[in-house]
Amino acid sequence: MTAVIFGLRSLTGCIDRVVDEQLSRRERKKIETRQRLMTAALHLFHDQGFDDTTVEQITDSADVAKGTFFNYFETKESILPAVAEWRMQRIGKLVSPGSGAPASPVARIKLVLRLVAEDPISDPRLTRHLLAAVHQRDRRPARALTRLLAEQAKDGQGAGEIRRDLDPAYVGGMIRSLFFQQMLMWHCGHHPGPLPELLDAMVDLLMDGIAAPARIQVQ
């Protein structure tokens, strides 16, 4: 009887492992399909513009059936915030420990902003559609960037580079807002210098503050 019970337990365990493997394969396939759709969409949006890209072109480029698109995204408009969030996650990996990123958290903040500015998702032809998505309450891109910057700000507090009495999320949101403002000015033709240098200077200004020395001494 004991041998039978042991055998049943072994069989059950084997079945469970097979089911888990099948589920993980299925989940991996879903992730890979979603990734292919987002990659194809970003390339097409960058090459021919958001408005001139169709769902069918995206699915053809991703080599999936047209109906598959709607298993992952409700509309063409809904894929763009997802793509932006994915790109922020990708940039997060590029500045993570062990990736060769600078040891200084403030230097990593500068690197994050440079990478975001250089990313295809920052194409001005796409940003207005992203802003439209934000106005429609899909704030995933803004939250993803804020979260990424807040992580660096928290590390900066631990390294003694940023004041500890500030909420890292507040610091991340403030840097994000300044970044958006700088990008808006750049896209409107305000080019007083190379964009990477302007972004670095923006962070330095935030770190140093805008108060004149005389005001600091009075306080």
Query: What is the mean pLDDT of each successive set of 10 residues along the chain, which is 219 residues long?
Result: 47 48 78 95 93 96 95 92 92 90 95 95 86 73 92 94 93 94 91 94 89 54
Give the pLDDT of residue 217: 54
Instruction: Give the DSSP letter of residue 27.
Output: H
Give the pLDDT of residue 19: 44
Rounded distance between C-alpha atoms, residue 24 and residue 33, angstroms: 14
Rounded distance between C-alpha atoms, residue 214 and residue 15, angstroms: 75
Give the pLDDT of residue 6: 41
Give the pLDDT of residue 64: 95
Give the pLDDT of residue 83: 93
Give the pLDDT of residue 17: 54
**In contact, 76 and 54? CB cutoff 8 Å:** yes
Q: Angle at which helices 168-187 and 140-158 pack, to 10 degrees?
A: 120
**Chain centroid to CA 200: how far?**
20
Give the pLDDT of residue 197: 95
Domain annotation for the chain: domains and CATH numbers = 76-209 (1.10.357.10)
pTM surpassing 0.95? Answer: no
Alpha helices in the chain (DSSP H): 2-48, 55-62, 66-69, 76-94, 105-118, 124-135, 140-158, 168-187, 195-208, 213-218
Phi and psi at residue 98, to the nearest 5°: 85, 0
